[in-house]
Structure formats: structure tokens, C-alpha cells
Structure 1
Amino acid sequence: MHLLLTSMLHPKMSKVLTGKVVYIGDAARTLLESPGRRKHADWEHEQVEQLGFEMVDLMVATTPLEQISDVLDHADSIYMASGETFDLLNALKTSGADQLIINKVREGMPYVSSSAGSVVASPSIDPIGVMDSASLAPDLHDYTALGFIDRFIIPHAQGTGSYGPEVISETVEKYGGDYPLLLLNDGQALEVDGDGQQVI
């Protein structure tokens, strides 16, 4: 596996993404529906687009499984965007895209992500419960995620912007005793290349 799990973008993305990139934007659905909040989602999309790869946009929540499978079969790498983690995991599970993505990545397809997209690479999204709202996916009761790594990513750990230091502190206090948390500041990423892992 080759993963680059970022807090919010990273210069090495251009070295891990390759060929035709599937941009999975489900985490940003609620942002895109709000004129006041879609600026971030549009900005992130533009940043990835500017890397110069051929890009295919995919919303798994509104795409038939057969079509999701076809898109992934004709792609070379995956970018999983930031946004609302519970909504993202719900979309992945209800569409069946989660298992397709797990299979592709374990077969060697590079996976790059930011924030929520990185959190779902963990064994479970449970520790993100302070930062993101489970109410966006009221029917989601199984928080088991993609499980590419054995640690639980907490993005934006520098405690600025929407997630102040009190949110990060509460997350660590509530979940740190039960889960091996990996706190990533914006500008940091966990790179997984084969059996090796390092924060860069």
C-alpha cells in the first residue's frame, strides 16, 4: 500500500498521486450545499486539480455501485477529500464503495487524503466524535472504517481555525486512553509505503 494521509494537503501529494485520479468528494457534500461554506470545498478541489493530473469527480452516495466500480477500475489513484467524517463514512458504507476502495488500495492503488478522508483510513472514526457531528449520519451505527492503518488520525491538531485547542484537548482527554491517537498538524501527513510508516 502507498498512502499519504494528510491533515490538510501536503507538498508530497504530487509524488504519490499518479495517472487518472478519482476525487471522492462525499465528505464535502454539506459544505457544497451551503453558499457560505462551500469556499473551502472548492478551494481544496482546485488545489488538487492544479497538480495537473487527469481528475474524475465521484460522489459515491449518489452513484450506483456498478458505476463506482467501473470508475475505480479505470483509475490510477484515489484522493479522498476533507469535510464531515460521519457523512463520508456513511456514504462509503451505504454505497458499498468502502469495500471496493479497500480492495483497490490493498492491491496497490495509491490513496491520498485530507482531514476526514484521512480519518476514515483508521480502524474506526469513533475518536473524531468531538470534532465532527454524528448527527449528520443518524443511521450510521457502525463506525468501523477502512482500516488501512492501526492508529487513529486526529487532524488539525495545531488547534486553530474551526478546531480550537480546547477541541483537541477534549478529544485527547476523551479518547486518548482507549485509542492510539495520531495527532497531525496542518502541513503534516502520515506516509505509509509498504510496511513503513512515517510522519512527514
Structure 2
Amino acid sequence: MRVLLLSSGAGALPAFLEEAVRPGALRIGYVPDAALPDAALPDPGAPFASSELERIAAFGHRVEVVRLSGSPLDEIEQALDRVDALYVAGGNTFALLHAMRSTGADRAITDRVRAGLPYIGLSAGSVVAGPTIEPITLMDDPTEAPELGDRSGLGLVDTVVVPHAGGLSPLAEVTGRIVAEYGARHPLRLLTDDQALVLDGRGEGLRLIASH
């Protein structure tokens, strides 16, 4: 498997894609559902999504928005099969996992990533790649996905990513509480906004790298 887990900075993305897929322009599937707890919101989602899409495009790649919420599973699967890599964006982790599980996209994504589709997660997209999203209860509001029962993640990696650690932001302050409450029960990996975790098929497991 090839997995890149980001907190905020995407500086590690170009080299990851070049090694995981090939040099040159790629078609990147962009999943915005963490920013779409309200089905009435238009694509691609929250205001930050526009700048995020522009950032991916600035690297020379084409972007296809793959919205999970409200989409039939066969359409999601067709989109997944068209793209060279999947970018699962940030927002509310609970809304994102609910969108994945309620549509069956969780299994479709996991199967394809395990078969070789590169997975890029940012913030919430990084959290859902792990074994559970339970510790993020202190960072994101679970009530944005009241129908979500099982909080098991995709299980692509064996650690729970806690993004936005360090610094002086309100989210950074929450990470200490997450460690104190959940650190003894779950394997946690704290990421600052200029770091990333990469799983690149070298047999070295998850490696911490810079991602300014």
C-alpha cells in the first residue's frame, strides 16, 4: 500500500505521487465529505476546499471531485476506478466516516487502496485511515454525524493520527487532552501541520517526514 497522511501542509505530496504513480499530470480524486455535514451544501464544500483544490492543481494535476454523500455506490466505484490517486480532505471526521460507511464507500476505498490505489489523507482524511476515530471526539463534534455508531476507521494504518499538534492554535491545545484521555488505550501519532506520515511499500512501516 501507498499512503500519505497530512495534517495541513502538502509539501510532501508531489514527491509521494511521483514515486507512487509516475511523474507528470495525474487525475486526483478529491473527497470533500468531511466538509459536507449538510447535504444542501454545494460541491466542493467548505470555503477552504477551493484553495485546497487550487493547491492540488498547482502541482500540475487534474482534480475530480468524488462526493460520497448522496451518491450511489456504483458511481463512487466508477470514480475510484478512473483516478490515479485518492485525496480525502479535512473537515469533520465523524461526518466523513458516516459518508463512507453509509454509502459502502469505506469498503470500496479500502479494497482499492490495498490493491494499489495511492491514498492521501489530510486532517480528517488522515484520521479515518487508522483503526478508530474515537480519540478525535475531543477535536471534532460527533453530533454532526448522529447516525454514526461504529467508529472503527478504515484500518489502512495501525495508528490513530492526531493532526494539528504543536503550535498555539486551539486545535493544538486539544491534542494534549487527547493524549491524556486516550493515549493509554489507543496508539496515537501526533502530527504538526508541517509533518506527514508516509507508507510507501518499502517495508519500513509508517515514516515521519516533513511536509511544509
Structure-2 change in CA distance of 1:122 and 1:133 (3 Å): same
Identity %: 38
Stretch deviating more after TM superposition (89-98 or 21-30): 21-30
Q: What SS does structure 1 have at the residue aligned with 2:116? A: coil
Structure 1, unmatched stretches of 5+, are: none
Task: Please list the CA deviations of residues 136-156 of structure 1 after superposition, one character each: whole Å capped at 9, or x if unmatched.
Answer: 011101001110111110000
Q: CA deviation at 1:29?
A: 1.4
Asked if residue 23 in structure 1 is aligned to residue 36 in structure 2, the reply is: no
What are the within-5 Å matches in structure 2 for residues 1-200 of structure 1?
Answer: 1-17=1-17, 18=21, 19-30=26-37, 33=41, 38-165=46-173, 167-194=174-201, 195-196=203-204, 197-200=206-209
Q: CA deviation at 1:159?
A: 4.4
Q: What SS does structure 1 have at the residue aligned with 2:3? A: strand
List 4+ stretches of structure 1 deviating above 6 A: none
Counterpart contact for 2:6–2:121, Cα < 8 Å:
yes
Structure-2 change in CA distance of 1:147 and 1:39 (3 Å): same
Separation in 2, partners of 1:161, 1:33: 27
How many correspondences in the alignment?
A: 197
Separation in 2, partners of 1:164, 1:14: 26
Please, what is the CA RMSD of the aligned residues? 1.9
Separation in 2, partners of 1:82, 1:56: 16
Q: What SS does structure 2 have at the residue aligned with 1:62? A: coil
Counterpart contact for 2:53–2:63, Cα < 8 Å:
no
TM-score with structure 2 length normalisation?
A: 0.87
Q: What SS does structure 1 have at the residue aligned with 2:87? A: strand
Q: CA deviation at 1:33?
A: 4.3
Counterpart contact for 2:89–2:122, Cα < 8 Å:
yes
Task: Please list the CA deviations of residues 81-135 of structure 1 after superposition, one character each: whole Å capped at 9, or x if unmatched.
Answer: 0110000000000011110110110011111111000000000100111000110
Separation in 2, partners of 1:11, 1:164: 20
Q: CA deviation at 1:75?
A: 1.3
Structure 2 residue identity aligned to 1:106: R
Structure 2 residue identity aligned to 1:199: L
Counterpart contact for 1:9–1:113, Cα < 8 Å:
no
TM-score with structure 1 length normalisation?
A: 0.92
Structure-2 change in CA distance of 1:155 and 1:22 (3 Å): same
